[in-house]
Amino acid sequence: MQESRSPAHPDQVLATFPDLQAADVADAVAAARAAAPGWAQLPALERSQALNAAADAVAGAASDLTELGIAEVGKPRAEMAAEIARGVAILRYYAQAALDPDGATLPSADGRSLLMSRRRPRGVAGCITPWNFPVAIPLWKIAPALAYGNAVAWKPSPAATAIARELAALLATALPPRLLALVTGDADAGQALTQAADLISFTGSAAVGRSVVVAAAQRGIAAQAEMGGQNPAVILPDADLEQAARIIAQAAMGYAGQKCTATSRVIVVGDSAAAGEALVAAVRQLPVGDPADAATVVGPVISEAAMARVLDATAEAERDRGRVLLADDPVPEEGYFVAPVLVDRVDPSARIAQEEIFGPFAVILTARDDAEALRIANGVRYGLAASVFTRDLDRALRFTAGLDAGLVRVNAPTSGVDFYAPFGGVKDSSVGPREQGKAARDFYTVSRTITISPSSAG
């Protein structure tokens, strides 16, 4: 058995659950597969109604889910409540998407036949999700999979299993029995799911994501993997510095920096001293503390190991002659709390500027001009999100055209996702088709070309 504990109060056990073995996972997928044909054959309107009913169930339990998310993953109250609302909106969006056209007609070669393409579900979608968005990320996988006629086998992170159980139970009230299977456990359960499902959608670390994609390729099944980011925010000399600092501080340190889209590198064109001062002042305005407090912006990191990563990165910066601008603000003694860290005088090639720390930690880098800033921004193996701060539209257009990132923002945070727009990165940040919005259909369905010719020559 495994346990899920509160990062703010580590003595509090929120869930115990079995670490399922390969045979258990295979059985769960087999049950979902048996339920899949009946679901796929339902009229699209009935699938749409089921997803709307699921949205009603989640909305009705929003308060309880918010409290559970605060406790289990340490997400500050305002963010957790907003995530539940987004989850409801995702379900309603895909309830409508289930009624979208499922194909297209084309001119036939003989002028008499009906030539068309139609989409059909792939089978059982295996969804492997992280702990940091315990409602939104699962639903932006589960909802489109169901909308387009698939069954789902879902393996949440062990650190978010309590809220996963509640969410799965709410969804089950609106779905046929066994259509949604909850698979609990750690890496072995995830590997078993990759070997059993008909397609795999993964969100997590780059190392694990690559192994998932390789395993799927060996089986010849569809896979998508959304992985890490080392996201830059570029401040050009004409930017509104105070506004940029406020936006970047929130994007870097909100939810203790535990978002794949969090800002981890601030690239300043020109003298970085004023930007450093503005960022320190902005970060210090973000309340650090108990995630249950409505005012909290920076809560705990998820685990003791995550806390150690931030502390080790700070020590590494000092060894590499970086200057730690901020790291000593008081934090609660109980729980996995670590003060936000800003470091400057760091070489762009340093490990802490190249690799994801996944905590309230950001480096400030200096560039002589736009061209050097662009080289630094693109000079990592990730390419998920990037932002540019400037008042000059022409300069913004030139700069953003050269960014290696799937999400590009101007005068806006790197963090945050519009659930109705395609989501994904480049390089080591993503493999496979985009998630979310209309793009999700391309992953959860496969196209067939159908020709229907007249039965007679007349």
CA 4 to chain CA mean position, Å: 20
Nearest to 130 by CA among 30, 255, 231: 255
Left if phi > 0, otherwise alpha if psi is -120 to 50, otherwise beta: which for 445?
Answer: beta
**306 phi and psi, to 5 degrees?**
-65, -40
| DSSP labels, 318-337 | HHTT-EEEE------SSSS-
Angle between helix 161-172 and helix 44-60 axes, rounded to 10 deg: 130
**Three-class secondary structure of residue 341 per DSSP:** strand
Q: 275: closest CA among 342, 373, 204?
A: 342
Report the SS3 class of residue 46: helix
- Find the helix or strand (DSSP H, E) in which 223 lies: strand 222-226
Residues with a known catalytic role: 226, 260
Residues 6+ apart with CB under 8 A from 307: 300, 301, 336, 337, 338, 359
Q: Are 162 and 4 in contact (CB under 8 A)?
A: yes
The token pair at 419 is 């659930």
